[in-house]
């Protein structure tokens, strides 16, 4: 009996780190600013058949309608209430999306903005996405309800009431992040109100949460909220399943607050990952791919089973948050595909793919002054995600997750899941290769010369289709073909001027 109790205890605590994706699905995609109707369609027509595990959606709760600048993407990080009603859709559309995605085995993870409400500078009478009245000046949010009692004003010790130094853990948690009214999560009323919001989402069928601005909440306060959460809906999840939790904590080192403080609650975003990988692929600061041999904890990242990893996110792809200029995005497609390919092939962390929209960048003194621009829209109404004949997206939706190289590497990760990191090779510079047990192998050429090498792949003999330059189609390859001999070796030749200077093969791309 004791052993069973121990097991259930382990299972119990472990569940916060488990994304509850259907077996064999190992990545999620952030469909940033998509409407719920389009997410539901994408689950059915693309994400399910292509092996995606789930979708991170934009905050679904009512937010302030910011008109200066005009409807910025970041208005969704200024809550007015927990009513499920935003530019992405209403509660019925949200419920329909969660049901339809779950029914095809694709999970939904909600971006939970629970540290704060809207900005103190937002004027009273500002509209909200569901029509609720609110008055930031008097901290009056009757649609929740929250009043002045529910905010941290008394606790914050800075003159401005805003966070003034990230070296003081107290003000980072108890003061306002860029003037956003800071909720008092030490109060049981606030904890219960937030838990009610999250339980409403859990009962609808979501699989977990991205906890926004976690650095700005005490780990213990977050835990107090999580302890009030229901188990996941047994219509789609095994009984006793707890919501998957990944906390947004930007920790590049050198601050008072560290990611490890949050490990007890769930996974944590590892921002060092994208910042370092971008530097390596750009070959800045003397970095080179040969150094990736000990990628992961060897580079000072958090333990792999606590990490949520990504190449870029909605903040740092536009200069917000952390990572700086090294962050690779869809604006640099050739390098971006290499970075995403490396991330999806490597065993470290739980992987999230970014899916963006294009906006009109306008650089002034090196800064994009249009970083605020919201999703493609017609007078504020978010545009439909149209699908072109070549499977790309229209209406300025970038759909990185539909790029052949990325979509196929999501499948690669599924095929090699559980296989160890093996057969590393490098040329001492920017030509590297590694395998995943006997299920997959990938080769990169980021040097300024051709890669020509015969490498040990660890794979069974046979002919494999490269899933970067093409697909396996019936009994043939639409792109490069690789022949693995009986000793597991194969010859690879990659021009440094190739459209995509990397090759990936796996058990399911074998003819």
Catalytic residues: 212, 248
Determine the residue with CB nearest Ca ion.
Answer: 216
Phi, then psi, of 173 in degrees rounded to 5: -90, -40
Residue with Cβ nearer ligand QV4 (32 or 46): 32
The HSE-up count of residue 403 (CA atoms within 13 Å, CB side) is: 23
Closest approach, Cβ 21 to ligand QV4, in A, equals 23
**Any idea what the Cα angle at residue 350 is, between residues 424 and 279, rounded to 5°?**
60
* Partner whose binding site includes residue 182, from Ca ion, ligand QV4, none (CB under 5 to 8 Å by kind): Ca ion
Cα separation, 276 vs 413, whole angstroms:
21
Cα separation, 401 vs 330, whole angstroms:
11
Query: Regarding beta strands 54-57 and 107-112, do their DSSP bridges make them parallel or antiparallel, or are they unpaired?
Result: parallel
Place of tokens 């792999």: 304
Closest approach, Cβ 40 to ligand QV4, in A, equals 24
Which residue of 29, 47, 217, 250 would you call a contact of ligand QV4, by CB under 6 A?
Answer: 250
Closest approach, Cβ 177 to ligand QV4, in A, equals 6
Which residue of 41, 98, 113, 226 would you call a contact of ligand QV4, by CB under 6 A?
Answer: 113
Residue with Cβ nearer ligand QV4 (122 or 443): 122
Residue 330 CB: number of other CB atoms within 10 A?
Answer: 21
Which residue of 119, 208, 349, 435 would you call a contact of ligand QV4, by CB under 6 A?
Answer: 119
Determine the residue with CB nearest ligand QV4.
Answer: 121
Task: Point out which residues bind Ca ion (CB under 5 A).
Answer: 115, 182, 216
Note whether 77 binds ligand QV4 by CB under 6 A: yes
x-or-dash pattern for ligand QV4, window 144-183, by CB under 6 A? ------------------x--------------xxxx---
* Partner whose binding site includes residue 287, from Ca ion, ligand QV4, none (CB under 5 to 8 Å by kind): none
Cα separation, 120 vs 139, whole angstroms:
8
* Partner whose binding site includes residue 69, from ligand QV4, Ca ion, none (CB under 5 to 8 Å by kind): none
Residue with Cβ nearer ligand QV4 (398 or 442): 398
**What is the widest separation between alpha-carbon atoms in the chain?**
74
Closest approach, Cβ 12 to ligand QV4, in A, equals 29
Closest approach, Cβ 216 to Ca ion, in A, equals 4
* Partner whose binding site includes residue 171, from Ca ion, ligand QV4, none (CB under 5 to 8 Å by kind): none
Cα separation, 86 vs 395, whole angstroms:
20
Note whether 274 binds ligand QV4 by CB under 6 A: no
* Partner whose binding site includes residue 193, from ligand QV4, Ca ion, none (CB under 5 to 8 Å by kind): none
* Partner whose binding site includes residue 241, from ligand QV4, Ca ion, none (CB under 5 to 8 Å by kind): none
Give every CB contact of residue 213 below 8 A, 6+ residues apart in sequence.
113, 115, 116, 177, 248
Closest approach, Cβ 320 to ligand QV4, in A, equals 4
Give every CB contact of residue 323 below 8 A, 6+ residues apart in sequence.
271, 274, 275, 278, 312, 316
**Any idea what the Cα angle at residue 174 is, between residues 170 and 179, rounded to 5°?**
125
Place of tokens 């020509």: 452
Reduced to 3 states, what is the DSSP secondary structure of residue 454?
strand
**Any idea what the Cα angle at residue 133 is, between residues 130 and 136, rounded to 5°?**
115
CA end-to-end distance (rounded Å), the chain: 50
Note whether 257 binds ligand QV4 by CB under 6 A: no
Judged by CB under 6 A, the number of residues near ligand QV4 is 20
| Stretch near ligand QV4 under the rule CB under 6 A, chosen from 113-121, 189-197, 272-280, 296-304 | 113-121
Q: E strands within 257-362?
A: 267-269, 307-309, 350-355
Reduced to 3 states, what is the DSSP secondary structure of residue 286?
coil
Reduced to 3 states, what is the DSSP secondary structure of residue 325?
helix
Residue with Cβ nearer ligand QV4 (267 or 436): 267
Residue with Cβ nearer Ca ion (216 or 272): 216
Closest approach, Cβ 130 to ligand QV4, in A, equals 17
Closest CA relative to residue 47, chosen from 102, 106, 135: 106
Cα separation, 420 vs 296, whole angstroms:
13
Q: Site residues for ligand QV4, window 196-225 (CB under 6 A)?
A: 212-213, 215
Note whether 74 binds ligand QV4 by CB under 6 A: yes
Residue with Cβ nearer Ca ion (180 or 467): 180
Cα separation, 65 vs 58, whole angstroms:
15
Query: Rule CB under 6 A: which residues touch ligand QV4?
Result: 74, 77-78, 113, 119, 121, 162, 177-180, 212-213, 215, 248, 250, 315, 320-322
């Amino acid at each position: 009996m004791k052993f069973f109790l121990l097991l259930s205890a382990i299972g119990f605590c472990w569940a916060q780190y488990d994304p509850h994706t259907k077996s064999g699905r190992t990545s999620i995609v952030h469909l940033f600013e998509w409407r719920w109707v389009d997410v539901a369609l994408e689950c059915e027509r693309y994400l399910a058949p292509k092996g995606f595990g789930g979708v991170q959606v934009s905050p679904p709760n009512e937010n302030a309608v910011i008109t200066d600048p005009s409807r910025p993407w970041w208005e969704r990080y200024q809550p007015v209430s927990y009513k499920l009603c935003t530019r992405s859709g209403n509660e019925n559309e949200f419920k329909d999306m969660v049901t339809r995605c779950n029914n095809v085995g694709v999970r939904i993870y909600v971006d939970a903005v629970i540290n704060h409400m809207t900005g103190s500078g937002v004027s009273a009478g500002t509209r909200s996405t569901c029509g609720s009245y609110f008055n930031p000046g008097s901290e009056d949010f009757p649609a929740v309800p929250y009043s002045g009692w529910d905010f941290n004003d008394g606790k914050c010790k800075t003159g401005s009431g805003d966070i003034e130094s990230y070296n003081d853990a107290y003000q980072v948690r108890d003061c306002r992040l860029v003037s956003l009214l800071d909720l008092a999560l030490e109060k049981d009323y606030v904890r219960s109100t937030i838990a009610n919001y999250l339980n409403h989402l859990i009962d609808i069928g979501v699989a977990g949460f991205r906890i926004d601005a976690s650095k700005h909440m005490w780990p213990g306060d977050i835990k107090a909220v999580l302890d009030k959460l229901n188990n996941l809906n047994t219509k789609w999840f095994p009984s006793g399943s707890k919501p998957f939790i990944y906390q947004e904590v930007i920790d590049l080192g050198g601050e008072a607050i560290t990611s490890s403080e949050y490990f007890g609650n769930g996974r944590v975003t590892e921002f060092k990952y994208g910042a370092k990988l971008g530097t390596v692929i750009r070959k800045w600061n003397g970095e080179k791919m040969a150094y990736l041999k000990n990628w992961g904890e060897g580079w000072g990242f958090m333990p792999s089973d606590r990490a949520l990893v990504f190449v870029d996110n909605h903040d740092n792809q536009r200069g917000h948050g952390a990572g700086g200029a090294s962050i690779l995005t869809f604006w640099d497609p050739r390098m971006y595909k290499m970075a995403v390919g490396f991330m999806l092939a490597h065993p470290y962390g739980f992987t999230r793919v970014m899916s963006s929209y294009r906006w009109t960048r306008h650089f002034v003194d090196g800064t994009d002054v249009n970083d605020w621009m919201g999703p493609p829209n017609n007078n504020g109404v978010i545009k439909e995600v149209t699908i072109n004949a070549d499977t790309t997206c229209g209406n300025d939706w970038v759909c990185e997750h539909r790029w052949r190289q990325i979509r196929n590497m999501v499948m690669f990760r599924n095929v090699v899941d559980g296989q160890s990191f093996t057969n590393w090779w490098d040329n001492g510079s920017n030509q590297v290769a590694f395998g995943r047990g006997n299920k997959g192998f990938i080769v990169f050429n980021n040097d300024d010369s051709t890669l020509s090498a015969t490498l040990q792949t660890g794979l069974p003999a046979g002919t494999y289709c490269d899933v970067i330059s093409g697909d396996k189609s019936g009994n043939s390859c639409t792109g490069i073909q690789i022949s693995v001999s009986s000793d597991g070796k194969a010859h690879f030749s990659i021009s440094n001027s190739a459209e995509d200077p990397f090759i990936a093969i796996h058990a399911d791309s074998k003819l």
